Amino acid sequence: MSDALRIAHGAFGRVALLDMDRSLVRHAHPHCHVLLKVDGDDTQFLVGDHVAPLTDDLAVLVNAWEPHAYIHDPRRRNALILALYIEPEWLRSFRPNWAASGAPGFFEQSAGVVTAHIRQTALDLAAEMVHEPGASRRQEHLLSELMIAVIERFTPWRTIGASLREIARSNAIDWRVGRAISLMRTNPAAPLSIEKLAKSAGLSRAHFFRLFEESTGVTPHVFLNVLKVEIAVGAIVEGDETFAVLSDRLGFSAPAHFTRFFRDHCSVAPSEFRQVARLGR
């Protein structure tokens, strides 16, 4: 079973040190997502329709809302992965146009060759998380240094999202899709079918499905799963409600179904996620 060795969280989003020995389902995040190998054998992710190798020399780069999956090879030694889920608003504090990290196309490729500085900073951050889980200020300093180096190497950061026109267009969502998204956000536990969502948008099922994916980059099913995962992560890290209550709140018929869903998306069970996320408090 995969293990979360450490999880750090804050205004920056979250960082997880994962010992991976199982595949993850195709999913997405509302974050700028970077994966760096710390130890173990080389491995790979499926980002969009492309296989992206994760090695000592190659990082995997996933844009916000870009569908991806982890592909585990049981013949290989587990990969120890530093997974960064970074909030675009936090990146805005470094440079205003880095808020474009929340839009498609921020990373031009799904994998890139890391510099010696990026690799060493990733190793330093992983070591700090293991040895000093409560040293949040030092960890955030290393994360800042790491993300600045990643963005400067792998994005056209000087020009991306430089104008208000670009930002407005990159964040544009069809108003009918926006209406369906509001419905999903209002009650993520509701058993909303594509037919119901399409009706709320005043569209046929086929037109709605196509327009939703064009607007968001993911299917309605994946989008709803993203909402559920982020609600679950926030509740697990910050709250004390039982997993049975959280499972019911998110519309699962049984806690076991919620546990399986969470593990398929976050690699570990919610109980382990909560325990590890609270280390050092």
The answer on pLDDT for 243 being more than 80 is: yes
The Cα 48–Cα 72 span in angstroms is 17
pLDDT digits (tens, 9 = 90+) for 187-209: 888 777 888 888 888 889 899 99
CA distance readout (Å), 233 to 9, 13, 71, 212: 10, 11, 23, 25
Q: Is the pLDDT of residue 104 over 90?
A: no
Summarised one tens digit per residue, pLDDT across range 178-192 is 888 888 888 888 777
Helix (H, G, I), strand (E, B) or coil at 239: coil
pLDDT at 250 over 60: yes
CA neighbor of 27 nearest in space, from 80, 73, 74, 83: 83
Cα-flanking dihedrals φ and ψ of residue 242, to 5°? -70, 160
Residue 195, burial from CB neighbour count under 10 angstroms (0-12, 13-18, 19+): exposed
Q: Is the pLDDT of residue 46 over 90?
A: yes
pLDDT confidence tier of residue 167, bands split at 50, 70 and 90: low
- What's the average model confidence in pLDDT over 129-144? 92
